[in-house]
Structure 1
């Protein structure tokens, strides 16, 4: 029986791959992401704090807008307190509406990642030329705020169409995070050459955990510490990437920040064994490894 399949990457068991390390011989890379989003008012797609799939109202619009008015500033304050770098998946509309967010990210030296124009729309089902326009507008919008075009991409709702990978490569993106298939980076095929897939968790992610599965802030913090402890042990055998995904309107709420602080302090107790990094730095390290080390690297010229 032959099932429909993707043609972007080949099967690869993590236990059978060549070994390598991160800079300075570190074995576990840790990345922290925020999602900075803007939604349409009373229309389009959007999360709801109580019932998934609820109609768009002023209530859930305002709940999400809390993330830009308050939540992101709470998160950045915590990251500053702990001396942690971060990467930010930014709707270009969010930064156009509140450009002071972009200025704060630049001041921190953090990374901007393309995240579409708005999370009120998804990419799958778009005509190819319409999706290319979405990618271009998001890229150019972030470049106006960051000073440089983003190298990485995360689609709104991690959505992709049939040609998304091809379009991202052709529009200058070097990596994306919409395929949560691995705990190591791997190369994927496009019609214009390979693009890197960077691990990005849909499990260790506050939106599905707390909005959709209704975990508490304490439970989410325990998930972070359990994931970290287990991956640190596993990293003795192979290099791994741990990502922590935060939405400004979810974990930016003060009562959720308290347990998050505890979890991050738990991680930082092992800082000398970790590479706490951003995805562009991780992608550059991967690109410098010899062919044959990273799955799919045989496609590299």
Structure 2
């Protein structure tokens, strides 16, 4: 036995081969869900002692304005392409957007998109929060999205992917049934919490457009090819290799990136490819959660 930090015991180890196969509706092979991050960034947010909101000194006019393209222009370009090819959104929402730019949230709701919380602002981090503060953010998220859209949020993606040790326990306690904050699998999995019933919903850093363009420095064409390779492999494994059955592919997007004029065409080719392939269940995160729960009950 090796000494070291204990296993956090958030979930059981489950090898990819040998699982009970998942079956998606219509015997589709890959559940494909698109996750637009509809976000609001503050130009001069209060400083968190654990992490700077902007790399440059505040106010970071350039960083703010670059991201503001999302709500002014990029969202509409991205959303229209998604709707054209039959892809609903499962929105990772900075809930303050409901007050700052309600038109963007209303547009997503009118398209039949699902909303889950990405915190209040993407410039407010969970690091260092006490339980009272974290509960207040969760309660604000539930209330704000319900008032703006009529939906009760079912999922959570921590603001700027920042957490406390109690985050998963708290969202389960408040009745949410999936988290996007674990990147450990290509299928949904049960998550252990102190109370409530929570599953991990496969999200992605690897094929997230932020990583594609900012971290891996991909061209639009390279990013599109990456998405197609991801899809084809997941579909082939589910179809031809037995094993775990139906897989999940998430495409996380930020419209100030993918919605730029020079990128949107390559992305549209990805949607056209997946829609025409015939093996994809093009759906929303909550529907995947329901289908998964129906098979593990």
Q: What is the TM-score with the length of structure 2 in the denominator?
A: 0.92
Note the aligned Cα RMSD (angstroms): 1.5
* Superposed CA offset, 1:129-167 (max 9, x none): 111111111221111111122111111122221000111
Equivalent positions of 1:103-252 (< 5 A) are 103-236=106-239, 237=242, 238-252=245-259
Does the Cα contact within 8 Å between 1:39 and 1:46 map onto a contact in 2?
no
Q: Secondary structure at the match of 1:15?
A: coil
Report the more deviating stretch, 257-266 or 37-46: 37-46
Residue number in structure 2 paired with 1:82: 85
Is 1:258 the counterpart of 2:278? The answer is: no
Report the more deviating stretch, 36-45 or 181-190: 36-45
Residue number in structure 1 paired with 2:282: 276
Q: What is the TM-score with the length of structure 1 in the denominator?
A: 0.91
Does the Cα contact within 8 Å between 1:124 and 1:162 map onto a contact in 2?
no
- Where do 4+ consecutive residues of structure 1 move more than 4 Å? 44-47
Deviation at 1:46, TM superposition (A): 4.6
Alpha-carbon distance between aligned partners in 2 of 1:182 and 1:20, rounded to the nearest angstrom = 14
Report the more deviating stretch, 182-191 or 281-290: 281-290
In structure 1, runs of 5+ residues without a counterpart are 48-52, 292-301
Q: Secondary structure at the match of 2:295?
A: coil
Alpha carbons of 1:42 and 1:94: their partners in 2 closer, same or farther (altered >3 Å)?
same
In structure 2, runs of 5+ residues without a counterpart are none
Question: 22, 25, 28: which is aligned to 2:24?
Answer: 22
Q: Secondary structure at the match of 1:20?
A: coil
* Superposed CA offset, 1:196-237 (max 9, x none): 100001111001221233212111111101111111111122
Question: 12, 15, 20: which is aligned to 2:14?
Answer: 12
Alpha-carbon distance between aligned partners in 1 of 2:73 and 2:234, rounded to the nearest angstrom = 32
Deviation at 1:88, TM superposition (A): 0.9
Number of equivalences: 285
Question: 32, 35, 42: which is aligned to 1:33?
Answer: 35
